[in-house]
Copies of this chain bind each other. A is one copy, B any other.
Amino acid sequence: MWDAGGRKYLDCYNNVPHVGHCNPRVVEAICKQAATLNTHTRYLHEGILDYVERLTATCEDPLETAILTCTGSEANDIALRMAEAMTGKRGIVATDATYHGNTTLVSHLSKSNVPEVGFGLGQYLRHVEAPDSYRIADPDGQRFAAKVQEAIDDLERSGIGFAALIVCPLFLNEGFPTQAEGWLRPAAEAVRRAGGLLICDEVQSGFGRSGSHFWAHQRQGVTPDVVTMGKPMGNGHPVAGLVTTAEIMARFRKSFRYFNTFGGNPVSCAAAMAVLDELQERNLQANAARIGQLAQQRLVELAGRHPVIGDVRQSGMVFGAEFVLDRQERTPAAAYADLVVNKMRQRGIILSKLGRHKNTLKIRPPMPFGAEHLDLLMTTLDEVLTETPVIA
């Protein structure tokens, strides 16, 4: 990336340009379709049919049908209504350090940014403690499942009832905790026992980013009832959506005649199809796995020389380090994380921080990120950590 002054940056953060900024294949697909025909989806077009077939083929049975929208927020907004339609209940469970979007309903899922307004919908939400592999032992997800069960019980006691658990399968906003494969299974079982839906928000974690699987829920050993997706789907073109089962779709369609003017229009589908083509032909999921492993090694090396790094975590093409004032108490060094992010930017490297304690570097580059980019990133990070005294 270059800024307005012509300065060059290495983008180690943005997941919207999933297959790379200004990816030529995607740009060409958009230009070609925009110059040919663009209508809403009340006029049938093979673009959406071909794309939905290709998209649902990446999901396991019985996830076989889709709705396309413009934003992940819209997709999550529908997913929550699907849960209400299927269960007749309204209680939603999410973690206390997540973000799922900005509609009136969905915005209530963000505990860190609880809206003061929102038509009273906060009453239907229960937040559970986010997983934190560095501070809270939960090797097999049983502890998290118990927290989910408590929230379900509370919703049922209150008379609201339980409709769904919504999570990012990699818990990316929560700080992408290290988890064994299948870690989410106990929570999913609690959800099913209670008659609720499991919604996996794969806006960040999907489209191969985890390296090991195309969808991160597959790594977690669960089959969600609804998978929502967004940001990377069209490489910046506003397209998003969800995949679900025929039964859930039928129930939702019966209860509400949903239509989205721009969702899945021919240009959106052309962009989204080009993204799938790029991922496949350039083997970008395998690249994510390889770079993730290399990043892990380099970060572990840095941790050997920089005591401020308390923990190193990676999930394919998402990786980072948690900064602490001391490794004993693991006191979060949030201000230091801010400082490092800004110093990296001054040196032309874009990354960010996040997590329960806002002290974790979040490095989430576009999928074509290569070993040479990783080398520049890690060399610069080493320099910055060396020259920056730890602050509280």
Contacts and interface: CB of A to CB of B under 8 A. Distances in A.
Interface stretch (A79-87, A181-189, A297-305, A322-330): A79-87
A99 to B, nearest CB: 9
A261 B71 contact: yes
A102 B260 contact: yes
Contacts of A237: 34, 238, 262, 267
A136 interface: no
Interface string A43-59: 00010000000000000
A36 interface: yes
A62 interface: no
Nearest to A110: B257
Interface string A246-262: 00000010111111111
Contacts of A121: 119, 121
Which among A70, A105, A235, A238 has the highest number of chain B CB atoms within 10 Å? A238
A222 B223 CA distance: 52
Nearest to A124: B119
A160 to B, nearest CB: 10
Interface stretch (A13-21, A213-221, A374-382): A13-21
A115 B22 contact: no
A34 B271 CA distance: 11
Nearest to A236: B38
Contacts of A116: 85, 254-256
A150 to B, nearest CB: 22
Interface string A108-132: 0000010111111100100000000
A31 interface: yes
Given A71-B260, A71-B261, A255 B115 contact: yes
A90 interface: yes
A231 B38 CA distance: 12
Contacts of A46: 4
Contacts of A252: 117
Nearest to A22: B35
Given A71-B70, A71-B74, A115 B31 contact: no
B80 A103 contact: no
Nearest to A26: B34
Nearest to A70: B70
Given A14-B39, A104-B77, A85 B27 contact: no
A137 interface: no
Nearest to A80: B104
Given A81-B104, A265-B236, A267-B236, A37 B117 contact: no
B37 A1 contact: yes
A149 interface: no
A143 interface: no
A38 B14 contact: no
- Closest A-B pairs by Cβ, 9 of them: A238-B262, A116-B255, A38-B236, A70-B70, A115-B256, A238-B238, A31-B31, A84-B117, A104-B105
11 contacts: A17-B38, A22-B37, A30-B30, A71-B71, A71-B74, A71-B263, A81-B104, A104-B105, A119-B124, A236-B262, A236-B265
Given A4-B46, A105-B105, A238-B265, 6 more contacts: A16-B39, A26-B34, A70-B238, A80-B104, A103-B103, A116-B254
Interface of A: 1, 4, 14, 16-17, 21-22, 24, 26-27, 30-31, 34-40, 46, 70-74, 77, 80-81, 84-85, 90, 102-105, 107, 113, 115-121, 124, 230-231, 235-239, 252, 254-263, 265, 267-268
